Amino acid sequence: MVWSMSQLVFAYGVGMLALVSPCGFTMLPAFLAYNIADNGSVSRSGTRRLTRALAVGLAVSLGFAGTFLISGLLVSAGLRSLVEAVPWFGVVVGSVLVVLGLSMLAGRRLGMNVPVNWLTRPGAGPGRTVAFGAGYALTQLACGMAGLLTVVAQGMANSSIVGTGAVFVAFSAGAASLLVLLALSTTLVSDALVRGVRQFMPAVTRVSGAVLAVSGAYLVVYWSPALLGGDAADNPASRLIHDLAADSRSWLQDNQVLVSILVVVLVMGTVVAALRGGKPSQTPRSPDQRHDQDARVS
């Protein structure tokens, strides 16, 4: 066999843990807040919300894993300056999040722009969502580069394209599993909010905007000192984020199997709901309606 199961498990775990490194940990609540606000502000059936959430999770995963792997290959090829540019990436992505969050606070709606059938129909594509995933990856490169280079080395050490591809797919699957789980979970939360407290959805959207703005501001503050030749910011807020990231990584390491099972269950449930929702519903007829039809036939 051109790859070993241990290599694939390792690559899968690195992909999942890459999402919660301390350098860009605030991108995680930003993703959750954006997804809740975007789902809650659009009138769709519960099934279509879940189907769309699956598309969002996959599109963000594509941007995240693709950017991460391409960056790892470039650094492995000798482009070390890419790592030096990470602080710039952090500040730019943080600034975009601040602008986006303030826009949502002002009442503007800027959705992820991913149609339910984005894989099959031309038109409005998932570009904005893939870009979000790419920005997420760029903020994580500094902390996740060591594990990523190990995955790249494992992939390139295989003697066949199949073995290399299997390692890279395992890494991408690890990132996608967590992102899809979070996308589907937050959609269920926002769906409950829409049904139960619809009148509070404008407030939820603005709270989500505040979370985005704060997350972006943290990235700007965290990486700005590095642009001036110093180290990343060291203050109570950054130390708190580092602790939260460390706790999250520890929990994920201990519960990778549980996360994987939850993803499979939610994705299968979404697919089944989508298939059932696609069938035309037949409303049962009342006795009076059946009697009228029989009278017309006779």
Contact between 38 and 108 (Cβ < 8 Å): no
Rounded Cα gap, residues 139 and 56, in angstroms: 19
| Domains identified in the chain, total number | 1
Rounded Cα gap, residues 206 and 97, in angstroms: 14
Contact between 193 and 204 (Cβ < 8 Å): yes
Report pLDDT for 280: 45
Report pLDDT for 110: 56
Domain of residue 49: give its range.
5-297
Each residue's pLDDT expressed in tens, for the chain with a length of 298 residues = 445 777 888 889 888 888 887 777 778 888 887 777 666 555 556 677 788 888 888 888 999 999 888 888 887 777 777 777 878 888 888 888 888 888 877 776 555 554 444 333 434 456 778 888 888 888 887 777 777 778 877 777 765 777 778 888 888 999 899 899 988 888 777 666 555 555 555 666 777 778 888 888 888 888 887 777 666 666 677 778 888 888 888 888 888 889 899 999 988 888 888 777 655 444 445 445 444 545 444 4
Give the number of other Cβ atoms within 10 Å of residue 144's Cβ. 25
Report pLDDT for 44: 58
**Short-list 268, 117, 94, CA closest to 180:** 268
Torsion angle (degrees, nearest 10) of CA 72, 77, 78, 82: -30
Only one residue has tokens 């039809």, namely 293
Tell me how far CA of residue 287 lies from CA of 283, 284, 293, in angstroms.
13, 10, 10
Report pLDDT for 233: 62
Report pLDDT for 200: 56
**Short-list 259, 43, 214, 35, CA closest to 132:** 35
Rounded Cα gap, residues 182 and 143, in angstroms: 22
